[in-house]
Every structure is written in structure tokens, then in C-alpha cells.
Amino acid sequence: ARWVRLNDRQSRFQAHKAAAETFRLVHDRVPEGVWSAPGRVNLIGEHTDYNDGFVLPFALPHRTAAAASVRDDQLLTVATLGSDGRIQRANPIDITSLRPRSVNGWAAYPAGVAWVLRDHGIGRGADIVLAGDVPTGAGLSSSHALECAVSLALLGLHGQELDQPGTPDRMRIARWVQRAENDFVGAPTGLLDQTASLCCTRSNVLFLDVRSGDAEQVPFDPASVGLRMLVIDTRTKHSHSDSGYGDRRRGTERAADLLGIKALRDVQSADLDSTLTRLPAELAPLARHVVTENQRVFDVVALLRAGRLNDIGPFLDASHTSMRDDYRISTIELDTAVETAKAAGALGARMTGGGFGGSAIALVPESRIDEVEASVTAAYEREGWRAPRTFVAVPSAGAGRDI
């Protein structure tokens, strides 16, 4: 990889402008187009996606943009603008010879997307330059933002723009991105993140039934009721290729096998207690988390539909407890963020995303935001931990073409 330094960065980061400018710098011409996709926060419904269950994410304002032009050959070149202003260029990738795991490091994500699209007849070479501000390694889905932006760029260069006749629909593209992630990159993730990045809309959460693909936009605008959704990035490790995520996934799939059902989604809440008695001790808590978490998604959706956003806090808390005690994917840093935020006035808080580090979210009255941020920061300082990064997340638009 080669590094170049960019001189002037905009003070207010706009991913599509940064990608277009960097493209000009790298290729000495303007890109044919720029497409971008956001990171996400999952409001509730964690580790339910690969159990055919229900999730409720919203898109972050933070985005990854892909500025792109076609090439005459079948090479994919990818460069990325780092947060330090430097440009990193991956070795050119021959699209015709791509096969699972044949590319490592960050370039595996764009390569995986090119590999899937090639199988769908979209195999022309392209120059792609990426820029974005989705926090990386924070459990906010930066890799899926990248993959979705690259998918749209490769489709767009092929004359297939989102939502146009003849272009695969957003859910279909999400499933392609999942395939890139599962089969090419080798991360056994579900459908939550890429669907959120592609399908979320401003001021809404996306109520997604992963099994059927049915999706409903449910109004979610904390600011309209004097609340804020605070994201607390613990800045501690988070990686899906690590064994923890795969272990949980295999555990729940085994539980479903033992119960003779397709997925844990098929357990009814009313039958939970009797169902759990049929599982070995190490699998019962995993199943309990998934079944109760699906129910919490329904409960939160019902409250949001009824205009009762103020009342969802206890469900966020219960979700966190379930992930901490039953699913065992929380960390001391996440627990501290959650407990401190609640003690300082949050109506509810939970870890979000895959777990084992990453970010927590807290639903906070506007008047308590400063206090919550200061308390969490002070708690981390007392423990001698790296300061957390906090920001208010506004439910934002999903992926699309910018230029």
C-alpha cells in the first residue's frame, strides 16, 4: 500500500465531496459518479437477525462514499482516504480471478462485493475511491457502509441506479452484500447491517422481519419529544471474525436443531419456559435472549406506533441485561457506559451491535445530555480507561447516489 498526504480537509466532513476530491487527486480526472451509504445504530433486536427474527435499526448521519469510474479492463482499483488525511491504495484486484478469502485486510470488503456482483453479470473493472466518517471498529457498521457504497457504485457504473426499473431492489442488494461478507470476507454476520444501510429513511427506524424481508418504516424522532439518542463508543475492541460472534451463532442454530424448528424465531414467547427445559444448560440462556429480544422489538414497535417514544427506556434496559447475562456479549466498558448513563438521567440504555466492545446507546432527555456525557467520561477516567467518544445520533437517510 502507498500513502499520500492530503493537504486541506474540510472542517465539516462531507463524505461524497471528500471522495470526489480524493478521486481527482488520485486519478487526475473527475469520477463518473459518487454513491454513499450510512453506518447504523440498532435501537433494539440484537443477535436476532441470524435467527430469522426481528430488528429495529436506524441510519446514522455518518456515511462512507464511493467515487467511481469504469475502466477498460477488469481490474478493480481501490483507494481510501483515512481519518488522518492520508490516502491508502490497495493493490489492483483482478475481478476475473477473485475467489473467497483471496483478498485480505480492508480491501477484502470492496473485493467481496465485486466478487458477488461478477456472478450477477456486473464484472467491469472500476476505479473506486472511498472516504467516510463512520467510526471504525465501533460496532456502528462501518464495513457494511463501505460494502453498500461500493455495491451501488458498481451497479451505477453498469447503468443500474437504485430504485430504477431493472435494478435489483434494496433487499436483494442487501442479500448480495451479506454473501460478500459471509462467503468472501468470512464473517458469519446476519442481514441487519446492510439492510439498515440500504433501507433506512430519515426520522424512522426500520422494522425488519429478516425471514420474510418485510420492512416497515416506523417514526422515530427523539428530538421531537425533547429526547436525544446518545451513542457512546467505548473505543474497545469489536470484531465479528473473532470467535465470540460465531460461537453465539452456532449455539443458537444448535438450539433450533435440538428443538426441531427452523430457527429460534419460531419459539412463541408464551411457550418459552417449557421450551427452555428441552435445551442443555449452556444453550438455554442463548435461546432465552433471542426469544425475549424478538418480543422486545414488538413491544418497542407498538410503543413507537402509539407515539410513546418516552416509554421505550425499560425495554432498552432489559435488552442490555439480557445480552449481559444470557447472551454474555457485553463488556465491563459497555456495562459501565450503560449504568453511568442511566444514573445520570438516561431513560434507558443498552449496548448496540455485535458486542464484545463497540458502542452503547442511551435515550436521554435533552436537558441531561451534558451531564450524561460528562458522567460517562468521568467514570472512564476513574477506571483509567481511554476516553469514550460520544455523539448524538439523528435517524438519517439510507444509501443512495450523491453526484
List the grid coordinates of 363. 435515550
Site pattern 337..356 for ligand GAF (x: CB under 6 A): ----------------xx--
Q: Given the rule CB under 6 A, which of 154-162, 163-171, 187-195, 386-394 is the region that contacts ligand GAF? A: 187-195
Is residue 46 near ligand GAF by the rule CB under 6 A?
A: yes
Q: In angstroms, what is the minimal distance from the CB of 353 to ligand GAF? A: 5
The active-site residue out of 49, 193, 233, 402 is: 193
List the grid coordinates of 394. 439523528
List the grid coordinates of 29. 480526472
* Of positions 52, 133, 147, 193, contacts ligand GAF by CB under 6 A: 193
Q: Given the rule CB under 6 A, which of 45-53, 122-130, 153-161, 363-371 is the region that contacts ligand GAF? A: 45-53
Taken in order 14, 181, 177, 395, the sign of the CA dihedral is negative
Q: In angstroms, what is the minimal distance from the CB of 326 to ligand GAF? A: 14
Q: What CA–CA distance (Å, rounded) separates 382 from 360?
A: 19
Report whether 117 contacts 110 (CB < 8 A).
Answer: no
> 121: buried, middle or exposed (CB in 10 Å: 19+, 13-18, 0-12)?
exposed
Q: In angstroms, what is the minimal distance from the CB of 245 to ligand GAF? A: 7
Taken in order 154, 157, 162, 168, the sign of the CA dihedral is negative
List CB contacts of 346: < 8 A, sequence separation 6 or more: 230, 313, 362, 363, 364, 368, 372
Is residue 49 near ligand GAF by the rule CB under 6 A?
A: yes
**Considering CB under 6 A, how many residues would be counted as binding ligand GAF?**
12
Q: In angstroms, what is the minimal distance from the CB of 312 to ligand GAF? A: 17
Neighbouring CB atoms inside 10 A of 119's CB total 11
Instruction: Clarify whether 84 is annotated catalytic.
Output: no
Site pattern 230..259 for ligand GAF (x: CB under 6 A): ----------x-------------------
Q: Which residues bind ligand GAF (CB under 6 A)?
A: 42, 46-47, 49-50, 189-190, 192-193, 240, 353-354
